[in-house]
Amino acid sequence: MSSDLTGKTALITGASRGIGKAIADAFAANGANVVLCSRKQDALDVVAEEIRAANPGAGVLAIAAHVADDEQAEAAVAAATGEFGGIDVLVNNAGTNPYYGPLIELDQARADKTVQINQWAGVLWTQLAWRAGMAERGGSVINIASIGGLTTEPGIGYYNATKSAVIHLTRQFAYELAPKVRVNAIAPGLVRTHLARALWEEHEDRISKELPLGRIGEPVDIAKAALFLAGDESSWITGQSLVVDGGAMIRPQVT
């Protein structure tokens, strides 16, 4: 039993920064070939070079693709399969939150974008990975959800609704793709990422004091959980959402 991923190929969406980059770093450090996907090729190329420098001989492929574009997603999966022979681990990490405010003021354009990136894209890439060989060889799918999908909070209610959908889709896919493919989710709390900057940048000290473990999360905290779910140590786990939040969800709720 180990998280040695030698000989396996992992495709990570949203891999140019934050949690996606940290997961790619961790997977490559543990022997995996990594396929990096995000919208901007130049940002991906920088990450790819960093991974190669830190892991000489690592197989690294950087492919620009919009996660909600069917043709670009299909081309990325095809390129990954052509380069490495298949995909063993898929990490659906790409996410967005174009709207902050009450649901009553949400417009359709931003609602549609949030669903397309956070919810539909995970379905699309899982379908493509399954058809590209996971159906025969097996594998692991890891969806990045959020503790927001398990609770309510002001301002990001629609983002949280899509993350709640990710948690349910994880369970549904786990049922439908078993026994060949395991499907699990990670539900991070507040992590130091660009996407979440508005939530922590000016309030980190206060938030940290309120958390049982005394700090907000770092991308590497989520990468360690992803490494566990990708490896043999989690071989009898599927359909689950692993909360990694510094204890945020166990705090007493005060009315």
Residue 108 pLDDT more than 70? Answer: yes
Tell me the pLDDT tens digit for each residue of 122-147. Answer: 999 999 999 999 999 999 999 999 99
Ramachandran class of 144: left when φ > 0, alpha when ψ lies in -120 to 50, beta otherwise: beta
Question: Element (H or E) spanning 41, and its range?
Answer: helix 41-54
Residue 204 pLDDT more than 90? Answer: no
Question: Which CATH number is 56's domain given?
Answer: 3.40.50.720
Structural domain boundaries, residue 188: 9-245
Identity of the residue numbered 202? E
Residue 103 pLDDT more than 90? Answer: yes
Residue 254 within a domain: no
* 242 neighbors 184 (Cβ within 8 angstroms): yes
d(CA 120, CA 124): 6
Q: What is the pTM of this model?
A: 0.96
Q: How many structural domains compose the chain?
A: 1
Tell me the pLDDT tens digit for each residue of 50-92. Answer: 999 999 999 999 999 999 999 999 999 999 999 999 999 999 9
d(CA 213, CA 48): 33
Active site residue 175: no
Residue 184 within a domain: yes
Residue 215 pLDDT more than 60? Answer: yes
Residue 4 within a domain: no
Percent of the chain with pLDDT over 90: 89
pLDDT for the residue numbered 187: 98
106-138 burial, b for 16+ CB within 10 Å, e for fewer? eeeebbeebbbbbbbbbbbbbebbbebbbeeee
* 200 neighbors 190 (Cβ within 8 angstroms): yes
Q: Provide the 10 A C-beta neighbour count for residue 205.
A: 10
Whose tokens are 């405010």? That residue is 101
Residue 15 within a domain: yes
Which position among 100, 158, 159, 175 bears the catalytic label? 159
